[in-house]
Structure 1
Amino acid sequence: MTLDVGFLGYRFMGQAHANALARLPMFFPDAPATNRDVLVGRDAEALASAADRLGFDRYATDWREAVDEVDVLYNLGPNHLHAEPSIAALDAGTHVLCEKPLGHTLDAAERMAAAARSSEATAGVAFNYRFVPAIRYARRLVEEGFLGDLRHVRATYLQDWLVDPEAPWSWRNDEEMAGSGALGDLGAHSLDLARFLLDDDVARLSGHLQTFVDERPVEGSGGDGDSDEYSDPETRPVTVDDAYTAQVEFESGATGLFEASRTALGRTNANEIELNGTGGSIRFDLERLNELAVCGADDRGFETILVTDEDDPYLDHWWPPGHVLGWEHTHVHENYEFLTAVAGDGSFAPDFRDGLEIQRLLDAIQRSDERGEWVSV
C-alpha cells in the first residue's frame, strides 16, 4: 500500500517533513510507502520550484483542490490556517498531521478536536520533541518510578532571533495569524513535554506575557525610491508576546515554572526541561540532544548518559553506538509512528485531544495575564 501525501506549506517545516519522508525507506524499511503527490501554497512560481526540490509530483494553489485527493494531509501552514483545511480533510476521511499549536485560538482547536472525534481518520499533532530518543528514555525512567513523588518541573525554551528590533515582521508577530508569540511557538513544546513525561495534570496557573518591540519593519520596504534620499521602511505592529513566564500547580501538588523567549541573546534553540522528585531528577537540553542528565537519590550530583546505544529508543535503525543523531531525526521518528498508525488503523499520540489540552493551557496563560491573577485550567 502506498499513501498519497499532500503538504500545505513548503518552507521550514515542509522541508523538515519532506526530508523525513525521503529518509524513511532507507532506515525504517517497515514504514508504509509514500508518494509525495501535491504541494499546496499561494505562489505558483515558488511552488513549482519547491515541488521539484522536495520531490512532489504536482502543486496546487488552493487547499480545497487537494484535501480529498490524498490519503494524508500535512498541515504545515501558519497557525490560522490549521483549522479549516484540517477539518475539511478529516470530514473527507483524509488523515491529518498538523503542526503545533493545534490552532491559533482555543475555539479553533476545539472545532478541530471535534472533527477528529467524528472522523475515522487519524489526526496527529507534530510535537516532534516527543520523539527524541533521550526524551523517550526519560519517560521510561519516570514510568519505572525513578523520580519517586514529583516535586518540581521547570522548563525553558529560549531563542534569540528577535533580539534585533530591526528584525523583519512576519506572520509569527501577528495575533490574528499566530494566536500568540513565544507562548504558542515555543511554550507549547515545553508544556507538551511536561504532559508527555508526567502522569499529572495542571490544576491552576499564573501567567505573564511581555512584548518588548511594538513594531517591526516589513521586509523589502524602504529604499531610495525616486530620489537619492532613503525612505523609512514600512512597519507593522507586533501584537503577540516576545516572552512569557508561567507558574504552575499540578494536581499532585508539584510546582512548575515555564518560560520561553524569542529575545534571549545567546540562546539559539535552548529547549530544556528538568524534573525533580523524591527519588531522583532528570534534565534534558535540546542543544545536547543525545544526552540525558540523571541523578538518583543516593547520588552526589547529575550523571550524563549518552542515549545512543542500540537498545535505546529508535537507535537500532541508525548508526553504531556513540554516533549521534540530530534534530531532523525527530521528524523521521514522528513520521514513522504517524504513518504506521495510518496504514494499520492504529492510534497515534500526540493526537488532536492532546493538542487541545495544550491549547487550553495556552489559553489559560493568556487569560491569567489579562486578569492579573491565578486561573484554573
Structure 2
Amino acid sequence: MTQPHHEDATTAEKPPLRVGMIGYAFMGAAHTQGWLTAGRMFDLPRRPVLAALCGRDEAAVRNVADRHGWATTETDWRALIERDDIDLVDICTPGNTHAEIALAALATGKHVLCEKPLANTVAEAEAMVEAAEAAHERGQVAMVGFNYRRVPAIALARRMIAEGRLGTLRHVRLTYLQDWLVDPTFPLTWRLRKEMAGSGALGDLGAHIVDLGQYLAGEPVVGVSGLTRTFVRERPLPGSEPGSADGSLGPVTVDGTALFTGRFASGAVASFEASRFATGRKNSLRVELNGERGSLAFDLERLNELAYHDGTEPGEHAGFRRILVTEPDHPYLDGWWPPGHGLGYEHTFIHQARDLVHAIAEGRRPEPSFADGLQVQRVLSAVEESAEKDSVYTPID
C-alpha cells in the first residue's frame, strides 16, 4: 500500500521554488493550499516556498498572509515581480489584469501560473503566448490554471480515451451549472462587469468545459454555434441597499447563461452549457463522452467516481459501471490515502502545483500551456461572435 510522502530533512534540502502570488481571495486561498501541501504529500524536485503575497488592501493582505503563512506582503504587483527573491508569479486576479501582469513577470525572468481564462481577449492571449514562447527559450515556463484537469477521475478518463477504450468519439456533452445569480438583489461584483471579467458564465464556467472537452477528446474544437442571455440586467452596486430608489443600481454587462454546440476536428459533435442561473445547482459540472466502442461520464459532485460503459460487452450484462478512482495506480493517487479514501476540490490545486514544479525542474512546457489557454479563448470568442449575430434560431413560419 502506498503511503503519503512527508517532508523530511532531504525535502528541506531541495532547492526552493519561491512563489509570489497576486490576489488573495477565493482563488488565492485555493492556490495557497496547493503550494502549501504539494511538497508535503509528493516527492517534488523543488520545494515550494510562500515568499510573498500581493493585494491592494494592506491590512487585508497582511491578515491573509499571516493566516496562511506567506512570509511577506506587497500592495503593488509591480514591486512583487521586480523582487529577486521570487522565482514564480502566481496570478489570481480578475481577467483584465492577466495579460499585463503575465507579460511583465515573464519579462523579468519569472515562471508564471495564470488563472483561467488566460485573458479577456484573443489579442491579449496571443501576446501572452508569444511572450511565453520567448521565455521558454530562456528556461522559463508558463501555465494556465485549468484545475479540473487535475481531478484524478478526469485524468483517468483522458488516459482511457487515449488508449482507445471508447474508439472513435461521436458525442461530447458538457455542462457547468451554478445558481449564485438567481437572486436579483445579488450585488454588481467585478465578475458581472465586462471591462473586468471579459464575459460572464461563458468565460468563467464555459472556459472550464471547453478546456475539458478538448483535453478529453485530445483534439480542438473547430466550429461553434451559440447563444448567450443576460436575465437580470441591473443589480445593486456593492454597499447599496437592495431595492433602494437612490440610483444605486448598475448595469450587468456580461452574460448569465451560454449555450453552444461545437464540432471537433475529427467530426465529433459537442454541446456545452454554462449558467449561473440554474436554480439548485451549486457547482454542477458534468461530462459525458460517447464513442463507437464505449462511453464515459463524470459528475463533479461525485468527484471520486467515473462511470464507464464498455460497448463491446454482450448486451445481457452490459451497462455503465462505477469506477472508484482511489487506487494507487490511478492518476495522482500515489501520494494520497489508502484505496476508498476520497479526495476533494482542493486537491486539484495541489496536483496543479505538483505538475508545475515538475515541469519547471525538467525544463519542459507544462500542460495546459498558454497556447492551450489561447485555443480556449478562440473558442469563447467564436461563441460570442455567433451569439451577437443571433443566428442560432431560424424563424419557422
Asked if the contact 1:24/1:31 (under 8 Å) is kept, the reply is no
Of residues 248, 254, 261 in structure 1, which corresponds to 2:275? 261
Of residues 182, 185, 191 in structure 2, which corresponds to 1:163? 182
For the residue of structure 2 that corresponds to 1:22, the secondary structure is helix
Quote the sequence identity (%). Answer: 49
Provide the residue aligned with 1:325 in structure 2.
Answer: 343
Provide the residue aligned with 1:227 in structure 2.
Answer: none
- Measure, in 2, the Cα distance between the counterparts of 1:345 and 1:204: 34
Deviation, 1:231, is 6.0
Asked if the contact 2:214/2:220 (under 8 Å) is kept, the reply is yes
- Measure, in 2, the Cα distance between the counterparts of 1:72 and 1:288: 33
Of residues 287, 291, 297 in structure 1, which corresponds to 2:305? 291
The one-letter amino acid of 1:159's match is Q
Deviation, 1:359, is 0.2
Provide the residue aligned with 2:96 in structure 1.
Answer: 80
Unpaired stretches in structure 2, ≥5 consecutive residues: 1-14, 393-397
Provide the residue aligned with 2:366 in structure 1.
Answer: 348
Of residues 101, 105, 121 in structure 2, which corresponds to 1:89? 105
Provide the residue aligned with 2:21 in structure 1.
Answer: 7
Cα deviations across residues 204-261 of structure 1 (Å, max 9, x unaligned)?
11010100000111232239xxxxxx76572211000000000112222211110010
Q: Is residue 282 of structure 1 aligned with residue 296 of structure 2?
A: yes
- Measure, in 2, the Cα distance between the counterparts of 1:18 and 1:353: 25
Provide the residue aligned with 2:7 in structure 1.
Answer: none
Provide the residue aligned with 2:239 in structure 1.
Answer: 220
Deviation, 1:341, is 1.2
Provide the residue aligned with 1:23 in structure 2.
Answer: 37
- Name the count of aligned residue pairs: 368
Q: Is residue 54 of structure 1 aligned with residue 68 of structure 2?
A: yes
For the residue of structure 1 that corresponds to 2:82, the secondary structure is coil
Provide the residue aligned with 1:65 in structure 2.
Answer: 79
The one-letter amino acid of 2:37's match is R
- Measure, in 2, the Cα distance between the counterparts of 1:99 and 1:41: 16
Asked if the contact 1:218/1:233 (under 8 Å) is kept, the reply is no
Provide the residue aligned with 2:219 in structure 1.
Answer: 200
- Measure, in 2, the Cα distance between the counterparts of 1:372 and 1:162: 24
- Residues 27-176 of structure 1: matches in 2 within 5 Å? 27-69=41-83, 70-120=86-136, 121-176=140-195
- Measure, in 2, the Cα distance between the counterparts of 1:347 and 1:200: 18
Deviation, 1:101, is 0.2
The one-letter amino acid of 2:43's match is P
Provide the residue aligned with 2:8 in structure 1.
Answer: none
Cα deviations across residues 241-285 of structure 1 (Å, max 9, x unaligned)?
000000112222211110010010111100111000110000011
Cα deviations across residues 119-144 of structure 1 (Å, max 9, x unaligned)?
13100000001111101110111011
- Measure, in 2, the Cα distance between the counterparts of 1:363 and 1:58: 38
Provide the residue aligned with 1:314 in structure 2.
Answer: 332
For the residue of structure 2 that corresponds to 1:271, the secondary structure is strand
Asked if the contact 1:222/1:232 (under 8 Å) is kept, the reply is no
- Measure, in 2, the Cα distance between the counterparts of 1:25 and 1:101: 26
Asked if the contact 1:222/1:231 (under 8 Å) is kept, the reply is no
- Measure, in 2, the Cα distance between the counterparts of 1:247 and 1:118: 35
Instruction: Tell me the TM-score normalized by structure 2.
Output: 0.90
- Measure, in 2, the Cα distance between the counterparts of 1:83 and 1:21: 23
Deviation, 1:106, is 1.3
Deviation, 1:17, is 1.0
Deviating above 4 A after TM superposition, structure 1's stretches of 4 or more consecutive aligned residues are: 230-233
Asked if the contact 2:121/2:377 (under 8 Å) is kept, the reply is yes
- Measure, in 1, the Cα distance between the counterparts of 2:336 and 2:197: 36
The one-letter amino acid of 1:125's match is V
For the residue of structure 2 that corresponds to 1:37, the secondary structure is strand
Provide the residue aligned with 2:262 in structure 1.
Answer: 248
Instruction: Tell me the TM-score normalized by structure 1.
Output: 0.95
> Larger deviation: 236-245 or 110-119?
110-119
Deviation, 1:29, is 3.1
Deviation, 1:160, is 0.6
Deviation, 1:293, is 0.4
The one-letter amino acid of 1:81's match is T
Deviation, 1:343, is 2.6
Provide the residue aligned with 1:338 in structure 2.
Answer: 356
